Amino acid sequence: MDALEAIHSRRSVRAYTGAPIPRDHLEQIVDAGRLAATGNNRQPWLFIVITDRAMIAQLKIAARWMEKAGAVIAIVMDPGSRWWVEDGAAAVENMLIAATALGYGSCWLEGYSLQFEDRIKALLGVPAGLRLLTLIPIGVAAEAPNPDKKPLREVLRWEHY
């Protein structure tokens, strides 16, 4: 699947079959995050891949539906870096697209994980000075959502507003 195809077909998937994901696929997904644009090339990130079922079961405090994910990637950022939120967001989107290209469903999970940031950081052994930006559950999709998107003509202007 080429990049545009993956961008077009990516949707947030919140139901998975429970099938495991090969390690080399997870490495390719994290590699896509590692290569994201980053302010001043600071790369203030670290990606924790969680495949252990007992740990994933604990992480579901962030969202019950992720229990059957084949893996969860936690994006850990250094908030001392000026563009840590933007950098982290770029890395997350790259990984969602890479997961799609490899045939998996995934979801940007931030709302509830931030609420449980301290508990999740403790579970994963993340140092106090770092931030947990997002969790990305990834798995073989058990649903094919297709939420409405604004049409291109509504969001595109040429030359001026």
Ligand X SMILES: Cc1cc2nc3c(=O)[nH]c(=O)nc-3n(C[C@H](O)[C@H](O)[C@H](O)COP(=O)(O)O)c2cc1C
Give the residues lining the site for ligand X (CB under 6 A).
11-12, 14, 107-112, 145, 147
Whether the CB-CB separation of 34 and 59 falls below 8 Å is answered with: no
**Which residue number, 7 or 130, has a Cβ lying nearer to ligand X?**
7
Q: What is the 3-class SS of 26-39, one letter each residue?
A: HHHHHHHHHCCCCH
**Which residue number, 125 or 147, has a Cβ lying nearer to ligand X?**
147
**Which residue number, 66 or 126, has a Cβ lying nearer to ligand X?**
66
The contacts of residue 153 (CB under 8 Å, 6+ apart) are: none
Whether the CB-CB separation of 73 and 49 falls below 8 Å is answered with: yes
* Chain position whose Cβ is nearest to ligand X: 111
Supply 151's token pair.
Answer: 């049409």
Least distance from ligand X to the Cβ atom of residue 146, Å:
8
Least distance from ligand X to the Cβ atom of residue 95, Å:
12
Distance between CA atoms of residues 92 and 107, nearest Å: 10
Supply 158's token pair.
Answer: 């040429």
Least distance from ligand X to the Cβ atom of residue 54, Å:
23
Least distance from ligand X to the Cβ atom of residue 31, Å:
21
**Which residue number, 80 or 145, has a Cβ lying nearer to ligand X?**
145
